[in-house]
Amino acid sequence: MAATSRDLPPLYRQWAEHYRQAIAKGALSAGQRMPSVRELMQRHAISLSTALQILRTLEAEGCLEARPRVGYFVCSPAAVNLGEATDPDPRMPVSQLDGKEFVGINERISLWLEQGRLADVRIDLGSAMPAPELFDGATLNRHGAALLREFPDILVQGHSRPGTHPVFQAAMARRALDAGVQVAPQEVMATLGNSEAVNLALSAVAERGDVIAVESPTFYGLLQAVEAQNLRALEIPSSARTGISLEALELAVQQEPRLKAVVVVPHLQMPHGAVMPDEHKARLVDFCVRHQLALIEDDIYREFLDSPQPPRPLKAWDRHGQVIYCVSFNKTVAPGLRQGWMNGGRWHTRIHMLKFAKTRNMQVWAQLLTARTVEAAAHERHLRRLRQALRQQRERSVQAVARYFPVGTRLSVPAGGLSLWIELPPGASSSRLFEQALALGIRVAPGPMFSNTGRYERFVRLSCGLPFSAEVEAAYVTLGRLVQAMLDQDPLQRVAA
């Protein structure tokens, strides 16, 4: 299928990219004056607002700086190379864990996670979680204590009917309705965040050796879950603009008779941040119905989207129970509760029993606390503040990447969320960056964690969950230097120089 005009990015983004490349290639060099708004309008036959957006975008990314009453000037995006990076010295060398412990749970990812866990991390840019101060801990604790007063038996009530508390079910069904999704309250099942939900969904729809279509790149936890269940992950290219490639999925279903399910994060895909257009959503649901594939929707980041109109989940297009819908409040309400829920579509009864066989249910206090918190008026205000704080942290992080990382570094700025998916210049290795940074107390998530193909060796995911302090900025400086040092050592780069 040829790309249509609808698939192109907006005009201002195309021109911003044009100038970004000009700066990267040195056609516009540091300190040089950028064309003015008027010049841009004339040169490219664009509107005033488009010209302004170009300049603001480049400024937000740290490519330009505004000098009052003079105009915009090109910044120096490249780091000053202060010498070679310190040798890695992780607390637990990989050699001590030979991976045999992790057979079937993706040895490579498990080793990285275990290394990161055992290291002495000062600045964690590796985990996609907002900092504690971005949550509304005071309100949560107040509601939590009130529940303990109101329901003396809340922690000691055993439940003869394993399941989910009706108050939680009703609250979740109402919220789903607000998002355009119709779910009967009794078909809301509480889960331990989305990890458990996606694991249960996979158990319910596939058996050993079956194939699961995942996005590429995708969240490493999904690759672990697929492998831990003796399933095979088939990586379908996913665009940072529109998400999973429907064309590639069509091919996959023809070539792979054991394909049983598709797993997608439709809103702010992890790691690259794509938001799937509505038209794609409709086509994807229709495709899964036609081919009898379970469509597992991990809708964990929807509320992080900077959008006046919150998007509708895939589940809103589901008329056949084909979509298994998974929601989590882990990153918006309270990581300490791990409260999520799911609706299993036509696999719901089976999923319910699998849940019973694996972890049982009924942490009623956490369910009621989540329901009460998200139904309070203060919750929408909290979400707005959270989005705003993350927007600022993302912008500062984008600027830091532009300023401190070597020329040739690229990233697509996501429309919300917690992470940046950064492409390093040729010659850089994010696996090495991971090890070198960890030895300096900085944790990052190297690109190869997000795929089984080794395809993202030049990518790194950095979390914007931390307030952008001087220490965080210093970490970006360090990371930039580590990357620059790799380029300096790269024989191809040396030959070119």
Helices of type H across 405-462: 430-439
By CB under 8 A, residue 50 contacts a copy of itself = no
- Please name the residues in contact with 303: beta carbons below 8 A apart, sequence gap of 6 or more: 310, 332, 383, 387
Q: Does 225 bind a copy of itself (CB under 8 A)?
A: yes
Q: Is 167 in the site for a copy of itself (CB under 8 A)?
A: no
Which DSSP category does 4 fall into?
P
Q: What is the nearest approach in angstroms of a copy of itself to the Cβ of residue 301?
A: 15
User: Near a copy of itself by CB under 8 A, which window of 12-20, 68-76, 202-210, 254-262?
Assistant: 202-210
Give the position of tokens 């099942």: 189
Nearer CB in complex with a copy of itself: 172/334: 334
Count of other CB atoms within 10 angstroms of residue 175: 19
Q: Which helix (H) or strand (E) holds 343?
A: strand 339-343
Binders of a copy of itself among residues 72 to 101 (CB under 8 A) are: 97, 101
Give phi and psi for 192, each to the nearest 5. Answer: -85, 80
Distance in Å, CB of 107 to a copy of itself, minimum:
10
Shortest distance in whole angstroms from residue 198 CB to a copy of itself: 10
Give the tokens for residue 129.
Answer: 């979680």
For a copy of itself, which is the closer residue by CB, 20 or 461? Answer: 461
462 burial level (CB within 10 Å; 0-12, 13-18, 19+):
buried
Q: Which is nearer to a copy of itself, 35 or 130 (CB)?
A: 130
Which of residues 8, 80, 94, 148 is near a copy of itself by CB under 8 A? 148
Tell me how far apart the alpha carbons of residues 372 and 424 are, in angstroms, rounded to a whole number: 44
Determine, following the binding rule CB under 8 A, whether residue 477 of this chain makes contact with a copy of itself: no
Yes or no: say if 34 and 55 are a contact pair by the CB < 8 Å rule: yes
Interface residues for a copy of itself in 348-407 (CB under 8 A)? 349-350, 353-354, 356-360, 362-366
Does residue 166 interact with a copy of itself by CB under 8 A? no
Which range touches a copy of itself (CB under 8 A), out of 46-54, 142-150, 210-218, 392-400?
142-150
Closest to a copy of itself by CB, 241 or 350: 350
Q: What is the 3-state secondary structure (H, E, C) of 462-482?
A: EECCCCCCHHHHHHHHHHHHH
Asked if 316 touches a copy of itself (CB under 8 A), the answer is no
Q: How many residues bind a copy of itself (CB under 8 A)?
A: 75
Residue 237: helix, strand or coil by DSSP? strand
